[in-house]
Structure 1
Amino acid sequence: MTQTLERAIALAATAHAGQVDKGGAPYILHPLKVMLRMSTLEERIVAVLHDVVEDCGISLDDLRKEGFSEEVLTAIASVTKVPGESYEDFVERAAQNPIGRVVKLADLEENSDLSRIASPSWEDLERVEKYRRAIGRLRS
């Protein structure tokens, strides 16, 4: 089976079914918004699948069996936080992969949009500040 954007979207929709974001919207909208910021097929596939390994119990091997390329799998791995890894090390690792870098940058930009949260808390503001520092690193 070859990798297709349609298959990636279907997998992400199934994996994120029933999940909601911090603003209460269906979570699948987040990876779709990140995907729409991308230029290439590979970037779009990685973008729509960027949270399925970390948040949904899907493994890279599961995605490999679905026919996704090693390039796509390596990029997804680069934007998947490893347990025990510091946030700074995670961002640095994402920055080392060309696809991972652009996907993580778009992910952080989407996550920095506080307009989706009715009453942002101090915790939300602190998280956005952390994201802004990471965005600076990814752009450098």
Structure 2
Amino acid sequence: MLEQAELLARRLHASQTDKAGRPYSEHLSAVAAGVSDDGGTEFEVALGWLHDAKEDTSVSDEALINIVGVEGLAILTVLTHGKDEPYTDHLSRVVQHPSAVRVKLADLRHNSNPARLAQLPQEQRERLEKKYAAAKAQLKAGA
């Protein structure tokens, strides 16, 4: 499962870059490693690889079910931030599922890494630092 999740994630995000222009696969790898370092199961690490697949690609639900099953698809759906959905509402959904919380916290840890944020313009960096700190606090308070 884990190898399939990584391969699919790398393929889906192959042409994408992060806010600093780095290959997006670096972020996915860091999130998966963060989930693992936090004691996550192989299933949760696979979700770490795929956490942005529904939000940022046109992957089918069937393709995701083939790798992480129906439960995995449900968690990936919870991790998907809707375009018109307030971010705090998104986090309120995430906090309802322990595996989603584990993946989202690993995502936030990587997104808020000072070395990574230092590559961004100051205004954007400061805005994101506040956003990520508030998100971590909301997830930890609700967990």
TM-score after normalising by structure 1: 0.90
Q: In 1, distance between residues paired with 2:23 and 2:83?
A: 26
| Residue from 26, 29, 34 that aligns with 1:32 | 29
Matched residue, 2:92: 92
Structure whose residues are more often helix by fraction: 2
Q: Which amino acid aligns with 1:47?
A: G
Deviates more, 1:80-89 or 1:54-63: 54-63
* 1:28 counterpart SS class: helix
Q: CA deviation at 1:119?
A: 4.5
Alignment coverage as a number of residue pairs: 136
5+ residue gaps, structure 1: none
Larger mean CA deviation between 54-63 and 43-52 belongs to: 54-63
Larger mean CA deviation between 77-86 and 40-49 belongs to 77-86
Give the Cα separation in 2 of the matches to 1:97 and 1:135. Answer: 15
CA contact (8 A) 2:5 2:67 kept: no
- Measured in 2, the distance between the counterparts of 1:24 and 1:45 equals 24
Judge conservation of contact 1:60–1:77 (CA < 8 Å) in 2: no
Distance 1:15 1:119, change over 3 A: closer
| Unaligned segments of structure 2, at least 5 residues | none
Question: Whole-Å Cα distance in 1 between the matches of residues 49 and 56 of structure 2?
Answer: 13
Q: Which residue of 2 aligns with 1:48?
A: 49
Q: Distance in 2 between matches of 1:114 and 1:19?
A: 22
Root mean square deviation of aligned Cα: 1.4
TM-score (norm 2): 0.88
* Distance in 2 of aligned mates of 1:121 and 1:60: 38
Contact 1:34 1:48 in 2 (8 A): yes
Deviation at 1:134, TM superposition (A): 0.7
Conservation of the 8 A alpha-carbon contact between 2:101 and 2:139? yes
Distance in 1 (alpha carbons) for counterparts of 2:83 and 2:21: 26
Distance, in Å, in 2 between the alignment partners of 1:22 and 1:82 is: 19
Report % sequence identity.
Answer: 35
